[in-house]
Amino acid sequence: MQSQIAVLEKTPTINSVSTSFGAKLSAVLELTKARLNLSVVYSALAGYFLGVDQVSGITIFYLCLGGYLVVGAANGFNQIIERDRDILMDRTKNRPLPTGRLTSLEAMIACTIMAFLGMWMLLSINLVTAGFGAFALFMYVLVYTPLKAKGSIAVFIGALPGAIPALLGWVAATNDFDIEPGILFALQFLWQFTHFWAIAWVVDEDYKKAGYSLLPSGKRDRRTSFQILIYTIFIIPVSILPYFAFTGDFNIELPSVILISIMGLFLLRKAIILFKSEEIKDAKKLMIASIIYLPVVQLIYVLDKFIL
């Protein structure tokens, strides 16, 4: 009996582990969706380098950290609002709030701090950057999140803040909004539909456990796959617009047009296959292709500016 007590005394309880500072910090980091958030920072950096004439280390620091904090806060507020639905889905039931690793109050405090600190950093760059950051935060938390339960209209609304990152980087570099960041916004806006609907196709059954129906027709069918195909087709001409003479200071050369077109055809092929098959496995392949497509195209834009 004494040996059993000794073992119990040496074994940390679930409660003591979950309430430790390190565990709370880890849960807050998880709340920000770090891997997804880093892809947002990548897009912002691409936009910054496309717009900048003279690189500023402090601006890059504020853009990356401020952008991360604002997006992290948006992700966290989203999970606070959706905590009761998250517990119903396999893909979200292990998040910090459903598992009790964070309370709603703790998450609210952490997200509020991140939002204010992130907005202060973006404001330190310039007012235009802060304005777009605030717009993205507002749209994601207070418009997109409540609309998710209403149907696929939420995807269109969510694509607006989702298309902000590269635009944010450009205005951080230039303190100006014109056609150049508009092109970056348009590309990322259209890409959202291919990317998100591919994900929604894969997890449709899980979404419906929580009352979400985010595919255009409400199910995995030809109507949905057709809309995915149409949006994917539109991505290709928009992605090569900087080759033509009406995109201001945002220009690319012919080799970049060829490479970007190849990437577009790679993405389009996956969308065509899904249109024909309507299989989950092909939706997964399209999802992966979309994850590859955007950062590669943005990298081509940046390399074109500094190399060609």
Which of 126, 151, 176 is the endpoint of a domain? 176
pLDDT in tens, 31-74: 999 999 999 999 999 999 999 999 999 999 999 999 999 999 99
The model's confidence at residue 12, banded by pLDDT at 50, 70 and 90, is: very low
Q: Is 148 found in the same domain as 29?
A: yes
Average pLDDT value for the chain: 93
pLDDT in tens, 240-269: 999 998 888 999 999 999 999 999 999 999
pLDDT for res 14: 38
pLDDT for res 19: 65
| 225 falls within a domain | yes
Whether residue 284 is predicted with pLDDT greater than 90 in this model: the reply is yes
> Residue 136: is it exposed, middle or buried by C-beta count within 10 angstroms (0-12/13-18/19+)?
buried
- Least confident segment among 14-18, 78-82, 118-122, 135-139: 14-18
pLDDT for res 144: 96
Q: Is 261 found in the same domain as 157?
A: no
Element (H, E) at 181: helix 179-202
pLDDT in tens, 200-255: 999 999 999 999 999 999 999 999 999 999 999 999 999 999 999 888 899 999 99
The residue with tokens 């690189």 is 55
CATH number for the domain that contains residue 162? 1.10.357.140
Its domain, for residue 290, covers: 178-308
pLDDT in tens, 142-186: 999 999 999 999 999 999 999 999 999 999 999 999 999 999 999
Task: Please report, to the nearest 10 degrees, the dihedral formed by the alpha carbons of residues 65, 78, 111, 74 taken in order.
Answer: 30
- Report how many domains make up the chain: 2
Expressed in percent and rounded to 5, the helix, strand and coil fractions of the chain are: 80, 0, 20
- CA–CA separation, 11 and 25 (whole Å): 22
Q: Give the three-state DSSP class for 165.
A: helix
pLDDT for res 308: 79
Whether residue 99 is predicted with pLDDT greater than 70 in this model: the reply is yes
Q: Is 205 found in the same domain as 110?
A: no
Give the predicted TM-score (pTM) of the model.
0.90
Q: Is 292 found in the same domain as 234?
A: yes
DSSP state of 101: S
Q: Is 203 found in the same domain as 168?
A: no
Task: Give, in degrees to the nearest 5, the angle at Cα 205 between 208 and 291.
Answer: 110
| 30 falls within a domain | yes
Which of 142, 176, 210 is the endpoint of a domain? 176
